[in-house]
Each structure stands twice: as structure tokens, then as C-alpha cells.
Amino acid sequence: MAILVTGGAGYIGSHTCVELLQKGYEVIILDNFSNSNPEALKRVTAITGKDFKTYNADLLDKQTIIQVFSENEINAVIHFAGLKSVGESVAIPLQYYQNNMTGTVNLCEVMSWYGVKKLVFSSSATVYGATDKVPIDEETTLGAINPYGRTKQMIEEILGDLFRSDQAWSIAMLRYFNPIGAHPSGLIGEDPNGIPNNLLPYISQVAAGSRQRLSIFGDDYATKDGTGVRDYIHVVDLAIGHLHALEKVQSTQGIDAFNLGTGRGYSVLEMVRAFEKASMKSIPYTIERRRPGDAAVCFANPEKARNQLNWQANRGIDVMCEDTWRWQYYNPVGYKETFDKQIVGKTPLHQATGFLMP
Ligand code: NAD
Ligand code: UFG
């Protein structure tokens, strides 16, 4: 069974490729490495002991997509490739619409020509916009509030139109909540460019000493301790969710959206404490003004995925923080240097922190 994984070198894609390869799927990756590093793929091979074909290709280039489909017997596609920064999408909206939407339309068009009509698509909880009603279920009215979110919402609509035009398609749209964590091997993880926007990459760089302190955006929300609450989900649980969605699209026809979250919210301060425990480092912070556009509370109702995909998240925040810290500790510059170079001279993690390797 051959699965094309677009964006397979990225954060969530690389973790999903590990799970696919370990379950015996043949994997073909298409990525333009605009936000990833080929080193991640070497490490996927190191973890799994398996090789796979990789195309350094852009979804905006339809000829190359055609080449990928003509050279391989693809059964289904998991489509991660896209730009994902909210702030950047406000600054350069046209590039977001072009990359995310045109890329998806090109992909679906070529899939259709080759009769490959099984698709798992990376959507996002951001499609729900600024809703106050939690937990958020899939019936919640959509209303993305920034260009990035609107690309996801519009792609969901495009995929709906595609299915209505041809009911041979089978499409699962996965709305992720807040993916964090890393593979327990410490070999692959999130490798943000520049200053991280998201909470966990920022906290882990503070713990590592490469940033001075965390800014907490607001402590006056109507939450347990005044800081924002989110549904953090371990990236390995998320990756496994894709395999369940893949089974679903292979066995049925239709189009459906599923929340992938844990159903539990944690505040920023709770995450700071959990990370301090995992890393045995203190995380200095200051309280700053609220970040524009942030909701107070956001967490999923994950029942639909549990009932229809037979999937649920199993890893708690302690494991999420431990795995993030292991990745940060052994890869202080992400994929910019090989793993071997980065660990030379490093105290083994369990001696440095009292923390057990898996
Ligand atoms: P990522 O940036 O690490 O991975 C995306 C990959 O797609 C990268 O390897 C990038 O090089 C590639 N890519 C981008 N545009 C491309 C193009 N035109 N052609 C070929 N490759 C291209 O991001 P991620 O965190 O792994 O996210 C994967 C998907 O999940 C994205 O679609 C993202 O919007 C969505 N998502 C992510 C989060 C999150 O917090 N990480 C939350 C919700 C949804
Ligand atoms: N936060 C801080 N300081 C920081 C970063 C974040 O206090 O330096 C707070 C935020 O205010 C928020 C919480 O930490 O309360 C989580 O913030 P993130 O930026 O990590 O995550 P968001 O929930 O804002 O957004 C993320 C992705 C979006 C995606 C959304 C829903 O960045 O792309 O989850 O999936 F749309």
C-alpha cells in the first residue's frame, strides 16, 4: 500500500511517516523543503530502518506532481504541505492563498486524473475562529479570523465541492488542536525558524538557555489562573490519528471533519510548571499584555474521532514535555547540524537532569 505524503519532511509529517513505515506502508514524500530540512528524513530512516522515495518538489508545479503519480502506484494521499504561520499569513496573504489553496487544487486535480480519490487533509482548529463555546465539536460554526485559517476553511469547502461533484472521493479533514512534543527517540521534533511563535518551542528554548525569559500573553482571562487554556496534543498521538483516518478513507466513501485533540485544556502556567518538572530547569517569565486574536480557552470535544476513527490521544502533558525537552536537549540547533555532531561532549540526559531515557 503506497501513501503519498505531501509535506512529509515537516514536523507532523515526519512523525506520521515514522508511524506509517513502522506499520509496513510504502511511503513516498513530496516536499519543497521551504520549512523543513532533508536531515529530518535521514532521521526517519534512522528510527525505522526503512527507506522511502523522496521528491524535492513544489505543489505549485503541476508537472512534477504528474511525474510523481506516473512513477508510482499511489493508493492514498496524506496532505500536510502548506504554510502555517498566522502572523506571516497576515503580512503576506497572497502567498498563503497561493501556496495552500493552489497547491491543494493542483494536487486534487492530478489525483483525480490518476483515479486516486482517497485523501487525508491537515486542517486546523483555527477554522473555528474565536468561539467561546467549549468543548468545541465539529458542528461548531466555522469562522476563521486570519488568512492562514481562511485557507484551511476554504480548502475544506473546496474539498466538499469536489466530493459533491464526484462521490467516488473519500476525504477526512483533520482539525488539529495544539500539537507539541517529539518522537521519544529524540531524533525528530519541531524545528521552528527564528523566534518561535508557539508556546512550547519558546518554553523549551528558555529552558535550554537560548532565550532569556518567556512572555506570558495575559493573566487576566476568565480561566483557572488567568492565563490562556489550550488543548495540547502529543505529535505522536496526532500522527497515529492519521493512520486511523487513512483506514477510514480506504474503507468508505464520503467527506468528514474530525477534531484531533485530547479534550483537556491546560493553562500557560500549568505548561510552564510541567516543563520545569520535565527539564529540571526554571523557566523565568514576565506577564505581558494579551496577544491580539487569542481566545481565552480552546479545547476539543474529541468524541467523533473516538467513535468513528476508533482513535484517542493517550499521552499526557508530562510525556509531552519530557519528549519536547529530550528533542531540545540533543538538538539545540534543530536539524542545522547532524545528530552525531550535536551530542558530542554532551552529558547523557539522564545524568544531566535525572530524567530517564525511553
Ligand atoms: P511544517 O511547516 O513543519 O510542515 C509543512 C511541510 O510542507 C514543510 O516540510 C514544507 O517544506 C512543506 N511545504 C509547504 N509548502 C509546500 C509546497 N507548496 N510544496 C511542497 N511542500 C510544501 O508544518 P507542520 O506543523 O508539520 O504542519 C503540517 C500541516 O498541519 C500544515 O498544513 C499545517 O497548516 C497543519 N497544522 C499545523 C498545526 C501546528 O500547530 N503545527 C496546527 C494545525 C494545523
Ligand atoms: N503564549 C504565551 N507566550 C508565548 C506563546 C504563546 O503566553 O510566547 C500563549 C498564548 O497566548 C496562548 C497559548 O500560549 O494562550 C498557546 O499559544 P500558541 O501560539 O502555542 O498556540 P495557539 O493556540 O495560539 O495557536 C496554535 C497554532 C495555530 C493553530 C491553533 C489551533 O499556532 O496555527 O493552535 O490549532 F491554528
pLDDT digits (tens, 9 = 90+) for 280-298: 999 999 999 999 889 899 9
| Closest ligand 2 atom number to CA of residue 227 | 15
> Does ligand 1 come within 6 angstroms of the Cβ of 201?
no
Asked whether residue 358 is domain-assigned, the answer is no
How confident is residue 347, by pLDDT bands cut at 50, 70 and 90?
confident
Identity at 19, one-letter amino acid code: E
pLDDT digits (tens, 9 = 90+) for 113-139: 999 999 999 999 999 998 889 999 999
User: Is the pLDDT at 87 greater than 60, yes or no?
Assistant: yes
Asked whether residue 353 is domain-assigned, the answer is no
> Does ligand 1 come within 6 angstroms of the Cβ of 14?
no
How confident is residue 345, by pLDDT bands cut at 50, 70 and 90?
confident
How confident is residue 357, by pLDDT bands cut at 50, 70 and 90?
low
Q: How far apart are CA 358 and CA 186, in angstroms?
A: 10
**Residue 261 contacts residue 302 (beta carbons within 8 Å):** yes
> Does ligand 1 come within 6 angstroms of the Cβ of 181?
no
Q: Would you state the pLDDT for residue 217?
A: 97
pLDDT digits (tens, 9 = 90+) for 10-49: 999 999 999 999 999 999 999 999 999 999 999 999 999 9
Residues of the chain above pLDDT 70, percent: 98
Q: Would you state the pLDDT for residue 293?
A: 86
> Does ligand 2 come within 6 angstroms of the Cβ of 178?
yes
pTM score: 0.97
Q: Which of 122, 175, 202, 298 to mutate to test the pocket of ligand 1 (most atoms within 8 A of CB)?
A: 122
Residue matched to cell numbers 494536487: 107
| Closest ligand 1 atom number to CA of residue 59 | 19
Q: How far apart are CA 51 and CA 327, in angstroms?
A: 22
User: Is the pLDDT at 147 greater than 90, yes or no?
Assistant: yes
Q: Would you state the pLDDT for residue 346?
A: 85
Peptide bond into 284 cis (omega under 30): no
Identity at 53, one-letter amino acid code: K
Q: Would you state the pLDDT for residue 339?
A: 84
Nearest residue (by CA) to ligand 2, atom 7, is 216
User: Is the pLDDT at 350 greater than 80, yes or no?
Assistant: no
| Ligand closest to CA 180 | 1
**Number of neighbours of residue 214 by Cβ within 10 angstroms:** 22
Whole-number mean pLDDT of the chain?
96
Q: 261 alpha carbon to ligand 2 midpoint, in Å?
A: 14
CATH code of 233's domain = 3.40.50.720
How confident is residue 343, by pLDDT bands cut at 50, 70 and 90?
confident
11, 25, 148, 232: the catalytic one is 148
Asked whether residue 271 is domain-assigned, the answer is yes
Q: How far apart are CA 301 and CA 316, in angstroms?
A: 16
Q: Region 323-334: what's the mean pLDDT? A: 96
Distances (CA, A) of 147 to 28, 100, 126, 178, 206: 30, 11, 10, 18, 30
Asked whether residue 356 is domain-assigned, the answer is no
96 is catalytic: no
Nearest residue (by CA) to ligand 2, atom 28, is 126
Q: Region 85-98: what's the mean pLDDT? A: 96
Q: Which structural domain, as residue segments, surrounds residue 98?
A: 2-335+342-346
Asked whether residue 352 is domain-assigned, the answer is no
Asked whether residue 354 is domain-assigned, the answer is no
| Closest ligand 1 atom number to CA of residue 152 | 34
User: Is the pLDDT at 183 greater than 80, yes or no?
Assistant: yes
Q: Would you state the pLDDT for residue 58?
A: 98
Asked whether residue 96 is domain-assigned, the answer is yes
Asked whether residue 351 is domain-assigned, the answer is no
Count of domains forming the chain: 1
How confident is residue 248, by pLDDT bands cut at 50, 70 and 90?
very high
Q: Would you state the pLDDT for residue 212?
A: 97
> Does ligand 1 come within 6 angstroms of the Cβ of 167?
no
User: Is the pLDDT at 162 greater than 70, yes or no?
Assistant: yes
| Closest ligand 2 atom number to CA of residue 202 | 8
Q: 141 alpha carbon to ligand 2 midpoint, in Å?
A: 21
The three state secondary structure string of 161-201 is HHHHHCCCCEEEEEEECEEECCCCCCCCCCCCCCCCCCHHH
